[in-house]
Amino acid sequence: MLARFLIRTVFIYILAALLIVFIVYFPKDAVIMQEPGKIVPVFHGSWDTYIPEITTFVKQVVTDGFFGLTRSNTLVTDEVERVFPRTVKIILTSFFLIVVLGVLKGVFDYRHQFRWTNLLGNRFTSLAQSFPDFFFILALIWILLFYFPFVDVFAYEEWYGFILPSLIVSVYPLTYVSKITMNALLDEQGEQYVQVSFAKGFKQRFVVTNHMLHNSLGTVFSHLPSIMLLLLSNLLVLELFLDYKGAAYRLFMAIPEERELIIALAWLFMTIVFITQIVSYLLRYYFDPRERSAS
């Protein structure tokens, strides 16, 4: 089962990597044509060089590990080594916070769903999810700039510069995980083992944390790739508004001229999603007995 999953995932990964190359190298030269009262760009492609350029790029990457040069005549690999570690710090830190705090928030929402503290629980979670994800990033940056001016939000060159961006980008995905966790616990509460545990006199906290949560984690971990995609989709907005010179910022600035740099960074982001899919499957296999029985 695991081998079949890995083979399928690697096959999709290779196809996606090649598709990125085909899209980036797609001929899209524009010629400005003047019509009565307006100027219209007309796109045309140089198909004679399309396939040779792709073949040359793939060959030099596979054989020599050479991705080409940036617009400033520096190696693409050197540019990637400069900017990508900054973004990786945000990704790892925020992903850990999203999963851990999101699960804890989901447990809190479930246990307090019939109490007045539900205002801070599921109701707050539902309210937060009604706003666009980029809204939280912009709102938190605005609050920090105007109400906490002593906080240096643009300190990306300092060793602690990744902490604040990690906290900001974690807010919305955290509510997403908490909603998934609560729904998974609601699905578990009707199971027979839960009723037996309550009949034996165990407290709700014990039953939830020691039985229901363990069986619900398989469902939560199945959403890890979606959580990672949600996190990555917010990186560009975060890095642009914080002037954080990371990989997402550099990828945006590379469009459209630095094709090799675009491909290299896109492959790295895709690799992160690929690793998340494997970790998600392994965690589901460990926590969800249905996965083990299916194999």
List the CATH number of the domain containing 286. Answer: 1.10.3720.10
Cβ–Cβ < 8 Å for 146, 119: no
Q: Where among 23, 41, 60 does a domain terminate?
A: 60
SS3 35: strand
Residue 210: what pLDDT?
79
What is the rounded distance in angstroms from the CA atom of residue 263 to the CA atom of residue 267? 6
Cβ–Cβ < 8 Å for 57, 260: yes
Are 188 and 47 found together in one domain? Answer: no
Are 35 and 117 found together in one domain? Answer: no
Are 175 and 85 found together in one domain? Answer: yes
Please tell me the number of Cα atoms within 13 Å of 114 on its side-chain side. 0
- β partners of residue 31: 42
pLDDT, tens only, 216-270: 888 899 999 999 999 999 999 999 988 899 999 999 999 878 899 999 999 999 9
Are 157 and 90 found together in one domain? Answer: yes
Read off the DSSP letter of residue 112.
T
What is the rounded distance in angstroms from the CA atom of residue 188 to the CA atom of residue 110? 11
Are 178 and 217 found together in one domain? Answer: yes
- Write out the residue range of the structural domain in which residue 46 sits: 1-60
What is the rounded distance in angstroms from the CA atom of residue 21 to the CA atom of residue 264? 10
pLDDT, tens only, 6-21: 889 899 999 999 999 9
Are 56 and 169 found together in one domain? Answer: no
Are 46 and 128 found together in one domain? Answer: no
Are 142 and 31 found together in one domain? Answer: no
Are 96 and 206 found together in one domain? Answer: yes
Q: Where among 60, 78, 110 does a domain terminate?
A: 60
Domain tally, the chain: 2
